Amino acid sequence: MTVYAPPLKDLRFVLQHMIGLDGLAALSGYEHVEADFVDAILDEAGKFLTDVWFPLNRSGDIEGSHLRDGVVVTPEGFKDAYHRMVQGGWLGIPFPEQYGGGNMPATIVTAIGEMINATNTSLAMAPGLTQGAVDALLEHGSEEMKETYVRRLIAGEWTGTMCLTEPQAGSDVGALTTKATPADDGTWRVKGTKIFISWGDHDLTDNIIHLVLARTPDSPPGTKGISMFVVPKYLVNEDGSLGALNDIQTVSLEHKMGIKASPTAVLSFGDQGDGSIGYLIGEERQGMRYMFTMMNNARVAVGLAGVSIGEMAYQNALAYAQERIQGRPIGASPDEVTPIIGHANVRRMLMTMRAQVEAMRALLLENAYAMDMARSHPDEETRRQYSLYADLLTPVSKAWATDLGSEVASMAIQVYGGMGYIEESGMPQFYRDSRILSIYEGTNGIQALDLIGRKLPAGGGAAIMGFIANMKAIDADLAKAGERFSSMRTLLADGVTALEQATGWLAMNGMQDPNQAAAGATPYLNMLGTVAGGYFLAKSALTASRLLEEGNADKEFLEAKIATARFYAEQLLPLGTALLGPITAGKDNLFAIDPDQMRH
């Protein structure tokens, strides 16, 4: 049986002492974001999710969602749990008050979102996808669309999806063939098949609002010819009531490795007639641009799920290691036994998991804070700088955190030993659920290419140069902090130096031959994530040290912060520094063997 306790103390530590809630409360519209208010919100969210959502995580995995006589049936309890979240007002917190939302900044939404994903990853995807649909409609939809759909989506009465992928068009979205033809009444007729549509059909709500990418007549090939449409499962009458089924058929549900409670549908649009009725969002041939409004937020959300599953896996591995009696301590008498947490290798695994989760959490909250500042800071130049910074961190948040989430889930199985391989332990579900995250919303290889191809050179490299400068600037504070910070200081400096060298190599060689940069893209993203993690944990250690000097009563928690940061610096940070070689090795070895000769 798995356990979960919301990591409220660590969330508060990062929000209050590292991010700084004062900066959020100073923004127009966020004056209510004060420490006491945030504490209360986190407390209530943690209690609700632990009591209502978490008990369904395991049972939902066992039962799964099923298509029965054309109707998708979700696991027992899911519909009630979803509606209890709706009634509590939790689904609307990220959105503007004018449409019924709670107007909470992304930073706080991210902290709550970690607990939502941790307690039930499958169910969390439904409101997560709805948030993406709302963001796209608020940014690009007409006022009529906002009044017709957005209010009901924010209220949780309906859910939303993203319909991008087709059998022949996965990462290459430009290869899609779904067609949209104009009708005489200003609507469009959409025909085509979409696959891998998460929560594409279900029984939680009466209607589902699909945002569908399709190609209009005479559009050019590739991504430039794509438009975006609202295609509701049921048509909406002028008075807001539901009309006829909009010729959308659920062909099948995928049989997946993980997130089994989340129905992943194959949807057929317009098979029974002239086409499903759709409504053009914005302008024709701007669908890819509109899609990225959903996609960028979704990428951060997927990265957050990596943190969430990592936290769950760590908590359970720690609890098991404290209870499982196996072996005896080195040098002990023959009749002495110990819980496995007394063994050095188990301690190594647990400390690795702990340090990685704390580094990921800090990165995701920093990313969300940058998004808030980019959106709401009163100064235009400051908004621009934060926008570049948020863009830089987004592919790292998505790729690095999801890879680590799977790694931590795998390590939890190892802590359990043979019992971890048994489904009843709950550990296999964490690993299975985490594995899709590296593929979602653009595979992690695509994130790495986006990082080096778009995000590094953006603004003349201002974001990466500014980030490196900030990481260098902490050196003085580490020097003042004393001897126990010396290894942290030295190893972080080594990592930042390697990162700076790698960045320069990619910039120089990528201009001459893009394949040279592409060959080093993935190790570069991992280096940036690892070094950034070392920087954030060094900041946390310095903060903990300051609070100890001020007489903060929570001495054990703060001392553990410093110890975790030292462990990360000495055990994990050098692995990132060592990636300089793979990054700068170039493409030659990757293409040295002809594809026909690669088989044994």
Which residues are identified as catalytic? 441
Place of tokens 């632990």: 50
CA distance 525 to 505: 14
Q: Are 290 and 282 in contact (CB under 8 A)?
A: yes
Angle made by CA atoms 14, 342, 410, in degrees to the nearest 5: 60
Question: H or E stretch including 158?
Answer: strand 158-163
Q: How many residues does the chain have?
A: 600
Phi and psi (nearest 5°) for 286?
A: -115, 15
Q: What string of DSSP letters covers 84-132?
A: HHHHTT-TTTTS-GGGT-----HHHHHHHHHHHHHH-HHHHHHHHHHHH
DSSP symbol at 224: G
Q: Which two tokens stand for residue 529?
A: 């994530």
Angle made by CA atoms 462, 464, 467, in degrees to the nearest 5: 105
What torsion, rounded to 10 degrees, do the Cα atoms 176, 177, 180, 181 define? 150
CA distance 386 to 389: 5
CA distance 502 to 506: 6
Q: Which residues pair with 189 in a beta bridge?
A: 181, 277
Buried b (16+ CB within 10 A) or exposed e, 217-232: eebeeebebbbbbbbb
Q: Which residues pair with 93 in a beta bridge?
A: none
CA distance 455 to 333: 58
